[in-house]
């Protein structure tokens, strides 16, 4: 066996090209036949498909450093990158089972900006037909307190009338944002509205919301009553790129009087 050096993955076994394994969906895709690639690339692609399950267990996002660190203001980590990945897989399995039972594809609506990482990780793990769209809703500005009046600053492209909608959020905190969105989507005629949030912070809830039709509430973790950042969540637009969720040092926002 020849070993190929792979950046960040260590040494992966080089396996000779042979028939594609039955679980390998890439190599049997009719729209992307393996023989479309020159031989060395096709072989490398098959090697990666086979080697990834073992390597993925240890895979971590490698941040490229230089200058100031992204995590300079973090007090402590609540959920590591591995915790996040494991829980997203579980939530995706639950959602997938429900979506596969529907007669037509659901519309998964990500709430920009915060949900961008969770949405991307989630839908890649859901093996069911679905459409993806985004809305942008803002209520925190650059502070740590909700204005209490979420503004929809960018609307859907997809027509959700008669559709099953799954709203994907990074966090449900006061509940103002999802309440506002549910009302908005109901007005557009969605036949059911579910909410799938990575974090749920019930301690701060001030707006109760009702799911529509057969809608369900899915959540990754219950979040303690801290202002958290990372995995899409920001303070003043920073920290979204952290691959884990952490608590921000109080001195980072104590002087905040913007709301
Ligand atoms: O339950 P709530 O108290 O309404 O808080 C939850 C919302 O707050 C954040 O959005 P924000 O307004 O900060 O915009 P962003 O997604 O661009 O960060 C977050 O992404 C949720 O959408
Ligand atoms: O704890 C939070 N962190 C980041 N954004 C948020 N939006 C509502 N709550 C939070």
Strands (E), 84-237: 106-112, 130-138, 151-154, 164-172, 192-200, 217-222, 228-229
Better-predicted residue by pLDDT, 151 or 13? 151
Residue (of 112, 176, 119, 220) closest to 184 by Cα position: 176
Number of the ligand 1 atom closest to the C-alpha atom of 170: 20
Q: What is the mean pLDDT of the chain?
A: 81
The fraction of the chain above a pLDDT of 70, given in percent, is 74
Three-state SS at 158: coil
Q: What is the pLDDT of residues 20-73, one digit of tens each?
A: 333 333 333 333 333 333 334 333 444 344 444 445 545 677 777 666 787 888
Q: What is the DSSP letter of 120?
A: H
Better-predicted residue by pLDDT, 197 or 14? 197
Q: What is the pLDDT of residues 77-88, one digit of tens each?
A: 999 999 999 999
The single residue of 69, 98, 127, 173 carrying the catalytic annotation is 173
Residue 82 Cα to ligand 1 midpoint, Å, equals 24
Question: Taking CB atoms and a 6 Å cutoff, what residues make up the pocket around ligand 1?
Answer: 111, 113-114, 137-140, 146, 150, 169-177, 234
Domain residue ranges of the chain, discontinuous segments joined by +: 2-56, 74-252
Helix axes 81-100, 116-123, angle to 10 degrees: 60
227 lines ligand 2 (CB under 6 A): yes
Residue (of 112, 106, 155) closest to 131 by Cα position: 106
Q: What is the pLDDT of residues 202-256, one digit of tens each?
A: 999 999 999 999 999 999 999 999 999 999 999 999 999 999 999 999 888 765 4
* Predicted local confidence at residue 255, as pLDDT: 57
**C-beta neighbour count of 79 within 10 angstroms:** 21
- State yes or no: is 142 an active-site residue: no
Fold for domain 74-252? Rossmann fold (3.40.50)
């Amino acid at each position: 066996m020849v070993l190929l050096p792979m950046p960040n993955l260590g040494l992966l076994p080089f396996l000779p090209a042979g028939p594609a394994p039955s679980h390998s969906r890439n190599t049997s895709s009719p729209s992307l036949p393996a023989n479309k690639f020159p031989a060395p690339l096709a072989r490398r692609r098959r090697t990666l498909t086979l080697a990834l399950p073992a390597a993925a267990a240890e895979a971590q996002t490698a941040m490229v450093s230089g200058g100031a660190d992204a995590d300079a203001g973090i007090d402590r980590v609540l959920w590591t990158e591995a915790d996040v990945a494991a829980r997203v897989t579980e939530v995706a399995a639950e959602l997938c089972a429900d979506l596969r039972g529907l007669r037509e594809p659901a519309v998964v609506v990500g709430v920009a900006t915060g949900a961008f990482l969770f949405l991307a990780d989630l839908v890649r793990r859901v093996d069911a037909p679905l459409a993806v769209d985004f809305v942008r809703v803002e209520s925190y500005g650059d502070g740590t307190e909700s204005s209490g009046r979420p503004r929809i600053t960018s609307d859907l492209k997809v027509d959700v009338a008669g559709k099953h909608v799954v709203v994907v959020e990074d966090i449900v905190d006061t509940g103002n944002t999802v309440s506002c969105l549910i009302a908005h989507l109901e007005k557009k005629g969605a036949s059911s509205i579910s909410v799938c949030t990575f974090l749920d912070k019930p301690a701060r809830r001030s707006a109760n919301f009702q799911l529509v039709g057969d809608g369900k509430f899915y959540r990754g973790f219950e979040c303690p009553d801290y202002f958290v950042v990372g995995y899409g969540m920001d303070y003043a637009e920073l920290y979204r790129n952290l691959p884990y969720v952490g608590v921000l040092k109080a001195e980072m926002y104590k002087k905040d009087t913007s709301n």
